[in-house]
Amino acid sequence: MPPTGDAQETRRRLVEAAYAEFAAHGIAGARVDRVAATAGVNKALIYFHFGNKEGLFTAVFDMIVSQSLTEAPFDATNLPAYAGRLFDIGESHPEALRLVTWHRLERAADQPPLKAVVAANQSKLDAIAKAQAEGHITERHTPAEILALVLTIANMWTVMTPEMHLAAPTDSATRRALVVDAVATLLNP
């Protein structure tokens, strides 16, 4: 068995290669052969470290959640700024948004929810409920409704059709300002 450092390095290379593969081809279209070749390892190591392709996708998604939590710290008392940070992540990591879309489109409803996503969401929901109880944000909507609206508004530019993009603002600063303003307007009591 390889030393622990080598195993960790192999896992890292596999997750990075899988990140690009899943972003480009989705879950169904991704090929473990290509992931292994890109990572420069034997395909058997994917099964050793992750069990199967779904386990590899889960590891990639865990990385996305961790990256998001680091780059866009959540502050329930300033959700407009949080939405702006999420927008920034989408601008700097468009492949992450593609992975989120593949997850939404291809992951079977009967599969267990991803633990990292559930934990991150629950933490945010608890923080929103606390901010509401302390009078920092509106109680007009439930915490789940507020979080769903903030996430949707922050990522709204990525789900538009190409035809709608023809009429939308083209510069990033204007799109970001609209995201921040829309969330602020939403949360006004």
4 pLDDT more than 70? no
Mean pLDDT, residues 87-100 taken together: 92
Mean confidence (pLDDT) of the chain: 91
Residue 1's pLDDT is what?
43
Per-residue confidence band for 161, with pLDDT thresholds at 50, 70 and 90: confident
pLDDT in tens, 38-65: 999 999 999 999 999 999 999 999 999 9
User: In 10 A of CB 7, how many CB atoms?
Assistant: 14
Which residue shows structure tokens 């009078």?
135
Q: pTM here?
A: 0.86
Token representation of residue 13? 């290379």
Q: How many Å apart are CA 40 and CA 175, to the nearest integer?
A: 40
Per-residue confidence band for 132, with pLDDT thresholds at 50, 70 and 90: very high
Q: Which domains does the chain have, with CATH numbers?
A: 1-60 (1.10.10.60), 72-189 (1.10.357.10)
Residue 3's pLDDT is what?
46
